Amino acid sequence: MSDKITLNIEGKTVDCPVITGTEGDKAIDIGKLRAATGYITMDPGFGNTGSCKSAITYLDGDKGILRYRGIPIEHLAEKSSFTETAYLLIYGKLPDRKEMDAFSSSFNEHSMIHEDMKNFFDAYPSSAHPMAILSAMVCSMSAYYPDMIKENPTKEDIDRIAVQLLSKVRTICAFSYKKSIGEPFVYPRHDLMYVPNFLNMMFASPTRPYKLVEEAVQALKVLLILHADHEQNCSTSTVRLVGSSHANLYASISAGICALWGPLHGGANQAVIEMLEEIHADGGDVQKYVAKAKDKTSGFRLMGFGHRVYKNFDPRAKIIKQKADELLNKLGIHDPLLDIAKRLEEAALKDEYFIARKLYPNVDFYSGIILKAIGIPLKMFPVMFAIGRMPGWIAHWKEMIEDPTTKIGRPFQIYIGSPSRDYVPIEQRG
Ligand code: ACO
């Protein structure tokens, strides 16, 4: 294979270097195309476009492979903790004992939010979606911790903001839930690890201590690890694009949270449960909904199905389905929505429409069943995704900002509007 591809457009020639990744994936570098030929490429939805080189996550959608820094997610889900996985993603290596201890204890140091920020929660209606609160609060952190948003942050500054975000986001999410149910906030505790600490802030109250259920802690840990990164998805690309203007880490991540909120991305876990509830209330006829999803005029899609990259199976969905089964068995919960989800999956996977388009359950298809079993309210589901994705967003922002070749993100367009015309004063318009 040549190390360059030569394009000849209207007699103008341009040599485009071929870039090859560690796993053999290839790209054509068209960086000189516009200058040499006047042409740009057109790729709505970026289905054929690489925006950067990255050493964080590798995924092969045809083979169903997902690795963080080279380590298969199956191993991390089984053996690692969420904080260790966060360290791996952000710093590129597994921490030794000393590094891990220092990283964990800095979570305690940063777990509280500024007391003044608590007033924010009062300003929101109790019906506010927690993603709205989360994105606003994360962006507002740049106002409360201004020393952390220097023009040129040092490595130490970035490390501090990273751990601060990872730790505080848990507190913000739990506080927004407490606000929505009108209960007093429960502060973070230093004696609890990341996931138990979050669950305690969510479910403990002055009159009702929260009894941690190990199976729930484990299931949530796995869920967060599996959501921790997914290379250049919609929200991560947003974080990188916003950050490419040198917007600070809080602002960039706040934008990522907004991108994640949409039902075609991280909001899908909420949408899946809403869909399963609808099917349940409608008598549980999954075939009816498979038919509806195939009917392009219905405007309905099977939520939690399909993926831009996975065309075989989503390895995360496989682990999550198993975890959902295990958790419900251990907790002795019979959730009719799990039965519907399994029947829906079976029906769709046998259907020619879904087979031809290689549509499989994605990470969000079964994750809501786990969150529901743990007691997380529906509106908080995308927020749980955001907590999980935080290490990935931070790792990508850091990689982007530390790369001296990064340029501000600024795509082109092909203009299809009116040709040049004169301004007509209002009196003369017909
Ligand atoms: N139900 C029914 N049909 C579907 C579905 C679905 N869930 N997903 C894709 N299709 C169909 C499309 O209608 C299209 O059919 P066509 O070729 O006849 O026009 C074909 O499959 C390809 O779909 P696209 O929308 O072009 O695929 P794209 O890669 O752009 O979208 C996406 C991927 C957004 C995930 C899509 O599959 C979808 O909307 N799924 C449901 C929402 C969802 O679960 N999102 C979570 C994704 S995972 C994540 O972000 C964490």
Ligand 1 center–CA 386 separation, angstroms: 21
Confidence of residue 320 (pLDDT cuts 50, 70, 90): very high
Which of 135-144, 159-168, 367-376, 394-403 reaches the highest mean pLDDT? Answer: 394-403
Residue of 112 and 78 predicted with greater confidence? 78
Task: Give percent of the chain with pLDDT exceeding 90.
Answer: 77
Task: Give percent of the chain with pLDDT exceeding 70.
Answer: 100
Query: Which pLDDT does position 120 carry in this prediction?
Result: 86
pLDDT(149) > 80: no
Q: Is this structure's pTM higher than 0.85?
A: yes
List ligand 1's pocket residues with C-beta within 6 A. Answer: 45, 264-266, 268, 293, 301-308, 357, 359, 362-364
Instruction: Determine which residue's CA is closest to atom 47 belonging to ligand 1.
Output: 265
What's the mean per-residue pLDDT of the chain?
93
Query: Which pLDDT does position 1 carry in this prediction?
Result: 63
Question: What's the pLDDT tens digit per position in 29-74?
Answer: 999 999 999 999 999 999 999 999 999 999 999 999 999 999 999 9
pLDDT(148) > 80: no
Burial class for 13, CB neighbours closer than 10 Å (0-12, 13-18, 19+): exposed
pLDDT(239) > 90: yes
- Closest atom of ligand 1 to 362 CA is 48
Ligand 1 center–CA 308 separation, angstroms: 7
Domains of the chain: 4-65 (2.20.28), 72-262+379-401 (1.10.580.10), 268-374 (1.10.230.10)
d(Cα 314, Cα 300) in Å, to the nearest integer?
22
